[in-house]
Amino acid sequence: MIELNKTIQWKPQATGTGRFGNWLENLVDWNLSRSRFWGTPLPIWATEDRKELICIGSIEQLMKEIDKAVAAGIMKDNPYKDFVVGDFSKENYDKIDLHKPYVDDIYLVSPSGQKMTREPDLIDVWFDSGAMPYCQLHYPFENKEYFDQRFPADFIAEGVDQTRGWFFTLHAIATMLFDSVAYKAVVSNGLVLDKNGNKMSKRLGNAVNPFETIDKYGADPTRWYMITNAQPWDNLKFDTEGIAEVQRKFFGTLYNTYNFFALYANIDHFEYKEADIPIEKRPEIDRWILSELNTLVKNCDANYADYEPTKVGRDIQQFVDENLSNWYVRLCRRRFWKGEYSEDKISAYQTLYTCMETIAKLASPIAPFFMDKLFLDLNRVSGKETVESVHLSDFPKVHEEYIDKDLEERMEMAQQICSMVLSLRKKSNIRVRQPLGKIMIPVLETANFKEQILKVKDLILHEVNVKDIVFVEDSEGVLVKRIKPDFKKLGPKYGKIMKAIAARIAQFTQAEIIQLEKEGRMSLEIENQPVEILVDDVEIAAEDIPGWVVTNFGALTVALDITITPELKNEGYARELVNRIQNYRKDSQMDVLDNIVVRVQSNENLDEAFRKMEDYIKSETLCVDFAIVPEVTDANKTSFEIETGINIDVAISVKK
């Protein structure tokens, strides 16, 4: 049993090698019998002097032994005489009851002619549970071929308290019968606790009613929260606020993504009737999301196979939130609502459709109802699949040829740089709609760093609303960095000399800081002891320089020019007006295709900006008639605040 246990995949592994392994190594004899009124009897009959015993292995054998007892005059008749051997129907088996106390009315005869009485004890109910793989199929009396094809089980799941119960009895019986494991993998479930980590109890009033929770939040958000919040073998601190967050951040995001797709697909009558556009002909943003999608499929397939549903759920959630919604859809919005039904637009539709269909399949084991609805809504229009449910479809296959790690790497760099620039804008209280002049990035000595960023330069500039990126080959003298030790990481390693290490780190020159960032480690000698400083052992931050704000993430540093010229200011005003008009269109429930007429009240601070940017304003808002007027007299006029303290009247109407 110990050797076979080493072949089982335990989740977590510590339960198999520790708790269960220790139990096997210190195993005592299994007391198989129990004294109870009702249950599965020990099938052993014995003479009064206990010198003769018989163990019955089947109903057929028992019936033959009863017939012998009848012939010997010990039994009046055979109570099982109406039972038909070989008839495995429920009706046939309803004729007999093999449980104690009924079976105790049966007496047998020994070879020497003595009366035999059944042993009064029962079989331990844990033996019943451990015999489940065989009993459920009535093995070996029937279903032998079926059983041979399906034993041992791929995996089982139960609470960790079953280590000495079901897990053990399954393992023990399979070892004794077949010298085999009963299960190839086992998930040892943790407990569901309240949000403070206490066991749920009616007495304490902290128990959560599962039916009320499902009625309020839905089955899928509840399942998704429980699977992604903690691995199945860890204890879960259950908080309904977490379910609400899952509803909003994951299901809400996916729902909004589908609604966006459906809105424009219906306008353009996209039904996926066109042949798939070859991957090499698709724009880089499409190739990127398809690469990330196939990486996701690959990871999900591996994690499902490894009984890691938490990793699956978290990977899907991250893909939907960070890659699909917040990056791909947001950057591609114009491709869906502007222009003709071109190859580029078809590529966008096909790519987003593929992403959503694949997500529905990947996530369906965790969120079966929502994903089935998503799949059916997509497939009802396209007819790509002939199945009636996502649960009847094939699991997605990985297209290795779609995976481009260089592309994924540079897009991740673009996302990181954009995140850093946006944080600098927030720190400086400058809205994203206000264009800025340039970003400065020191070049790292990693392979193709500059080339990778140049390939996504336009995307970065568009996303953060900045005009240019400037690369600095040697940032020393341009950017000043400060460094300080992380005592929580270095302290446990170096103890008494930590104070001296901190003093030495504080003396690092700019060249030493840059060297540490590039190489990831630095060797020192402190008080005659060798010390290795890793880049993760310190905190490095860049200081702001006049007219710039600076931030860093690991070795990557980004500086943002926050000087706003009159030209940039004018463009910012125009973007603010576009934003207000778009919000007005939405609030007024105008159709996305409606052309509009706009009248704007003259303002000395804004007129120049609006005149210079008129073409931009009109193209962004589907405006066909734009004019600046001394006074807006339309009865349905509204007021827009373009900047704090600057308000103008505006009239917007649909072009008839």
Reported as a single tens digit per residue, the pLDDT across 435-447 is 999 998 888 767 6
Of 201, 196, 192, nearest to 229 by C-alpha is 192
Looking at the structure, do residues 39 and 25 belong to the same domain, yes or no? Answer: no
Q: HSE on the CB side for 596, CA within 13 Å? A: 27
pTM: 0.77
CA 351/CA 277 separation, integer angstroms? 9
CA 388/CA 402 separation, integer angstroms? 28
Q: Which two tokens stand for residue 629?
A: 């007027």
Check residue 475 and give its pLDDT: 54
Looking at the structure, do residues 63 and 19 belong to the same domain, yes or no? Answer: no
Percent of the chain with pLDDT over 70: 98
Say if residue 400's pLDDT is above 70.
Answer: yes
- Would 600 be classed as within a structural domain? yes
Q: Which two tokens stand for residue 423?
A: 């944080």
Looking at the structure, do residues 144 and 270 belong to the same domain, yes or no? Answer: no
CB 182 within 8 A of CB 171: yes
Terminal Cα distance for the chain, rounded: 83
Domain final residue, candidates 123, 148, 172: 123
Write the pLDDT tens digit of every residue in 141-163.
888 999 898 899 998 888 877 87
CA 185/CA 305 separation, integer angstroms? 11
Check residue 187 and give its pLDDT: 87
Q: What DSSP state is assigned to residue 443?
A: P
Check residue 234 and give its pLDDT: 84
CA 596/CA 588 separation, integer angstroms? 12
- Would 472 be classed as within a structural domain? no
Q: Considering its fold, how many domains does the chain have in total?
A: 5
Strands (E), 190-311: 192-193, 236-237
Q: Which two tokens stand for residue 584?
A: 């007005």
- Would 218 be classed as within a structural domain? no
Write the pLDDT tens digit of every residue in 505-524.
888 887 777 777 777 788 88
Q: HSE on the CB side for 266, CA within 13 Å? A: 12
**Torsion from C-alpha of 357, 358, 360, 366, nearest 10 degrees:** 180
Q: Which domain holds residue 646?
A: 566-654
Of 536, 540, 503, nearest to 521 by C-alpha is 536
Looking at the structure, do residues 331 and 378 belong to the same domain, yes or no? Answer: yes
Looking at the structure, do residues 143 and 179 belong to the same domain, yes or no? Answer: yes
CATH code at 489? 3.30.720
CB 533 within 8 A of CB 522: yes
Q: Which two tokens stand for residue 140?
A: 């070996």
Average pLDDT across the chain, whole number: 88
- Would 642 be classed as within a structural domain? yes
Q: Alpha helix locations (H) across 306-436?
A: 309-318, 330-337, 343-363, 368-382, 405-428
CB 600 within 8 A of CB 650: yes
Taken in order 574, 577, 583, 588, the sign of the CA dihedral is negative
Q: Alpha helix locations (H) across 277-367?
A: 284-305, 309-318, 330-337, 343-363
CATH code at 612? 3.30.2320
